[in-house]
Every structure is written in C-alpha cells, then in structure tokens.
C-alpha cells in the first residue's frame, strides 16, 4: 500500500511537470483575450488607450490602435489580409503588418477617405508611397472590401491589392510601381483607427502567385 | 567556305537551341519579346557562346557565370560576359554581335584582365539567365515602355540576406519620351507554380541590388 501511494504520487508529479513544462505563449495570449475583444474571429489587445474604441459585437470602431493576438509566423513571411470597413469623410484606417509589438518598424497601409475617393499610402522605414491613383474606381462613400497580399519574404517586399466587391486586381507593386517603400521587421499585425468602422478583418495564406 | 558553314551552323544551332529550351518549359514564354530588345537578345546569345566555349573541354559551367552587360555601339552590340576568375576575381569575355530577327552572330573579341570582385552565393545557368531575360523584357513592356528602347542591359547574380535567396539583378537603360536616358531596375527569382513548373519571376524595384560587377 505504501509503495502504491508512492507510485501514485510519483506519477502525479510526473504528469504535473510534463503538462506544466510545455506551453505555447502565443496561444496563451489568444486564449487569454476575451471573445468580446475581437473583430470577426480575430482577437486583439489594445496598444494605446482604448477609451475611444468601441467593440464587443465583432466590429471595431472609433479611435485607437489594436494588435491582433495571433501573430505572424515569422518576419520573412507572406500573408493575405481581408478588410471590410467604412470611412466617413476625412477618417482613416491603417493596417500594420510585420511590425514589432508596438506596431512600429513594420509595414503600414493607410486608407483615408476624401470625398468619394479613397487615398492609399504605403509606408515602411520612413518612406511613403502614394498608391491613390490605383484606387480611383473605389467608391469610398460605401462599405469597402479590400484584399491585400503582403509578401515580406522577398528581396523587395511587395503588395498586391484587390477590390473584393468587384473582384478586380487594383495594384501589384512589383509590377505597376517600382516595388514598395521598404520591409517589415516584426511578427505582429494590427489596425489603427481614426474614426473608422471595421466590420471584419481576416488573415490567411497569400492569394497572389508571385 | 568551311568557316562560313561552321559559323552559319553555330548561328542556326543557337537559334534552334534557345527555341527548343523555352518550349520544354511548360509555361508559355513569349520569346518574341527578346527579339524586340536586341540588346538583351545579344546578351543571352553571348552567354550561350561563352558556355559552349567553357564546356568544350568537358567542364560544366556553374557558379563561374556571373552575368552580362550588353550595349548598342554604332550599329553593333557589344556584350561583356562576366565570370569568376580565381578567388574573389572577375573577368569579362567581350563579344561583338549582329542580330537578324531571332538569330545572332557574335564574334569573340578579347578577354579582360581580372579585377577584384566578391561574388554572391548561389549560381544560375545560362538557361536561367535566358528565362530571366524573357520575364524581364515582358515586364518592361507591360509596365514601363517598348523593349526596343532599351539601349543597355546588365544582368548579374546577386543574393539577398533577408530572404536568404539568390536572384538575378537587372538594370535596363532606355530612351524615354523626352529622349533622356532612363534607368529601370528589376530582380528575378525562382518561382514555383502550383503544378510544379518553375520559372524566373521578375519584380520591379527602385534601385540596383548588390553585387553588381
């Protein structure tokens, strides 16, 4: 009996150590974020003050910056993002990709509504490219659905954009312009809102073939 | 007479070889684009000739091949094929070319002295340089200007530390609408299609990449 008790204790201790010794910190973060703090299926944490952000029903709006809990696999990686969002006059939405935990030192894609037009800028390493002319067919007065490939595992990071309402490819920065503004050096992604309304955001495998 | 027949055979052989090689590679590479850029076509032909000469004693051309620079000079096209020449050295093999449609006749002129040069890792075959040339000229025509405007073309092997990938860098000098010399920069890398076929895929960039000879 005494031996059996010791054996059970030993097995319990072994199991405890085994279960506690390995864990995925990334999954811990995702699991630790309440479901109410998400846009679609993507959970987020706030990067700065969240006083002016509204969320809880699967959408995100207002003013503030969020970093998504599920980070990118590696710095040298490629992803496809789907954004469904609306902008009032003069308001902005920025997608951050391949950035550090503060969403700096990465790739910033900024959308700004001016009248019925959508202005689009790409920034990296202090360099900003104006891609607005490629979005002239977008009606910024209604909800927009934009697909974005970010290819950050190549000598020159490049971007491909689609209008997911019409299905049209809008811009391939590796072809239509001289590449991109620079590279991203982190594994985080997120959004900065300046009175924008985000219905949905998704991250997945790259859609473009090159 | 024998010399004329020999040179004609070499010219025809090179034309046929380039055509057959491209057709073997699944995806449709429009070689006619190279004809529209004589300077680039001459560079590709010169690399083939260089390879023939290099391998005539049974050697296999590999990482020795660095690239080429081709430019129009007074109606002719001069091509310098770059290759390694010992440790951390590079030399140029110079050719004078005349083009007739898709065929070319290139005469070897001379070999330059070696100079210091740190070569990039990796290697690309003569065929891969041709694939890169086709993709580069296609992209140039789609996005920049008419290939016939290209006056000088430089292709060279490079390596990117961030992505740990070898690539072929391209610099094209061409006459723009204002009759000024413009420069366009590309890089080309291996791209695997879903069906397993590979090609050299080219992208535009703002400036020349590293390891330019």
Rounded Cα distance, B128 and B65, in Å: 11
Closest residue by Cα to residue B67 from B201, B138, B159? B159
Contact, A43 vs A189, CB < 8 A?
Answer: no
Half-sphere exposure of A128 (CA within 13 A, CB side): 9
Contact, B132 vs B168, CB < 8 A?
Answer: yes
Task: Return the pLDDT at A8.
Answer: 52
Residues of B with CB under 8 A from a CB of A: 139, 142-143, 158, 160, 162-165, 167, 184-185, 187, 189, 191, 193-194, 201, 203-206, 209
What is the 8-class DSSP label of residue A9? H
- β-bridge pairing B150-160 and B165-175: antiparallel
Q: List chain A pLDDT tens, one digit each, 210 residues.
A: 555 555 555 454 444 444 444 566 667 777 788 888 999 999 999 998 778 999 989 999 999 999 999 999 999 999 999 999 999 999 999 999 999 999 999 999 999 999 999 999 999 999 999 999 999 999 999 999 999 999 999 999 999 999 999 999 999 999 999 999 999 999 999 999 999 999 999 999 999 877
Q: Considering only alpha carbons, which residue of chain B is nearest residue A185?
A: B162
DSSP-assigned states of every residue in chain B: -HHHHHHHHHHHHHHHHHHHHHHHSSS---THHHHT-HHHHHHHHHHHHHHHHHHTTS----TTEEEEEEEEETTEEEEEEEEE-STTEEEEEEEEEEEETTEEEEEEEEEPPPEE--PPSS---HHHHHHHHHHHHHHHHHHT--GGGEEEEEEEEEEETTTTEEEEEEEEEEE-TTS-EEEEEEEEEEEE-TTS-EEEEEEEESS--S---
What is the 8-class DSSP label of residue A50? -
Rounded Cα distance, B131 and B134, in Å: 5
Rounded Cα distance, A172 and A179, in Å: 8
- Determine, for residues A155 and B209 on separate chains, whether the beta-carbon distance falls below 8 Å: yes
Cα of B153 vs its chain's centroid, Å: 8
Element (H, E) at A5: helix A2-21
- Determine, for residues A154 and B165 on separate chains, whether the beta-carbon distance falls below 8 Å: yes
Task: Return the pLDDT at A209.
Answer: 75
Contact, B185 vs B205, CB < 8 A?
Answer: yes
Place of tokens 């846009």: A39
Place of tokens 């495998």: A205
Q: Considering only alpha carbons, which residue of chain B is nearest residue A151?
A: B163
**What is the reported pTM?**
0.84
Half-sphere exposure of B96 (CA within 13 A, CB side): 7
Nearest-by-Cβ selection for B204 from A76, A179, A210? A179
Task: Return the pLDDT at B23.
Answer: 32
Best of A157, A178, A207 to disrupt the B interface (most B CBs within 10 Å) is A178
Cross-strand bridge partners of residue B97: B77, B106
Domain extents in chain B? 2-205
Task: Note whether A177 contacts B: Cβ–Cβ < 8 A.
Answer: yes
Distances, alpha carbon A112 to alpha carbons A120, A197, B22, in Å: 7, 12, 46
Nearest-by-Cβ selection for B167 from A155, A179, A209? A155
Task: Return the pLDDT at A20.
Answer: 46
Task: Return the pLDDT at A50.
Answer: 75
Which domains does chain A show, CATH number per domain?
24-204 (2.60.120.560)
Task: Return the pLDDT at A6.
Answer: 56
Token pair, residue B146, equals: 């008419």
Contact, B15 vs B103, CB < 8 A?
Answer: yes
Cross-strand bridge partners of residue B173: B152, B183
- Determine, for residues A154 and B204 on separate chains, whether the beta-carbon distance falls below 8 Å: no
- Nearest CA to CA, how far is B12 from chain A (Å)? 35
Best of B202, B204, B209, B211 to disrupt the A interface (most A CBs within 10 Å) is B204
Task: Note whether A103 contacts B: Cβ–Cβ < 8 A.
Answer: no
- Determine, for residues A155 and B204 on separate chains, whether the beta-carbon distance falls below 8 Å: no
Which stretches of chain B drop beneath a pLDDT of 70?
1-32, 192-198
Q: A33 in helix, strand or coil?
A: coil
- Determine, for residues A178 and B187 on separate chains, whether the beta-carbon distance falls below 8 Å: no
- Determine, for residues B205 and A179 on separate chains, whether the beta-carbon distance falls below 8 Å: yes
Q: Considering only alpha carbons, which residue of chain B is nearest residue A178?
A: B205
Task: Note whether A176 contacts B: Cβ–Cβ < 8 A.
Answer: yes
Task: Return the pLDDT at B146.
Answer: 96
Rounded Cα distance, A187 and A77, in Å: 9
Q: Considering only alpha carbons, which residue of chain A is nearest residue B190?
A: A210
């Amino acid at each position: 009996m005494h031996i059996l008790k010791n054996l059970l204790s030993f097995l319990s201790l072994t199991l405890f150590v085994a279960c506690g010794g390995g864990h995925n910190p990334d999954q811990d973060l995702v699991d630790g974020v309440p479901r109410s703090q998400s846009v679609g299926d993507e959970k987020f944490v706030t990067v700065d003050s969240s006083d002016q952000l509204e969320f809880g029903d699967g959408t995100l709006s207002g003013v503030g910056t969020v970093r998504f809990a599920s980070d990118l696999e590696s710095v040298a990686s490629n992803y496809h993002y789907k954004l469904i969002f609306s902008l009032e006059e003069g308001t902005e939405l920025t997608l951050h990709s391949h950035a550090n935990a503060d969403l700096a030192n990465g790739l910033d894609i900024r959308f700004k509504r001016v009248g019925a037009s959508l202005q689009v800028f790409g920034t990296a390493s202090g360099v900003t490219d104006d891609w607005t002319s490629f979005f002239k067919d977008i009606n910024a007065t209604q909800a927009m659905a934009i697909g974005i490939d970010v290819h950050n595992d190549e000598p020159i990071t490049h971007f491909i954009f689609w209008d997911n309402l019409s299905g049209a490819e809008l811009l391939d920065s590796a072809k239509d312009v001289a590449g991109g503004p620079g590279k991203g050096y982190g594994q985080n992604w997120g959004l900065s809102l300046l009175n924008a309304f985000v219905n949905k955001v998704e991250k997945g495998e790259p859609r473009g073939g090159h | 007479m024998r010399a004329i027949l020999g040179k004609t055979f070499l010219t025809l052989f090179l034309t046929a070889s380039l055509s057959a090689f491209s057709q073997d590679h699944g995806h449709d590479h429009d070689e006619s684009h190279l004809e529209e850029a004589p300077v680039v076509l001459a560079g590709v032909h010169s690399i083939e000739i260089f390879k023939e000469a290099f391998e005539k004693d049974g050697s296999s051309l590999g990482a020795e091949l660095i690239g080429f620079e081709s430019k129009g000079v007074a109606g002719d096209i001069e091509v310098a094929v770059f290759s390694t020449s010992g440790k951390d050295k590079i030399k140029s093999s110079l050719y004078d070319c005349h083009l007739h449609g898709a065929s070319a006749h290139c005469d070897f002129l001379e070999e330059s002295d070696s100079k210091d040069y740190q070569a990039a890792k990796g290697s690309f075959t003569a065929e891969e340089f041709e694939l890169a040339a086709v993709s580069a000229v296609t992209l140039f025509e789609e996005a920049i200007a008419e290939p016939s405007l290209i006056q000088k073309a430089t292709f060279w092997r490079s390596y990117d530390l961030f992505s740990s990938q070898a690539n072929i860098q391209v610099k094209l000098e061409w006459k723009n609408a204002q009759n000024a010399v413009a420069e366009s920069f590309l890089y080309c890398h291996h791209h695997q299609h879903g069906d397993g076929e590979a090609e050299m895929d080219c992208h535009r960039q703002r400036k020349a990449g590293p390891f330019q000879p």
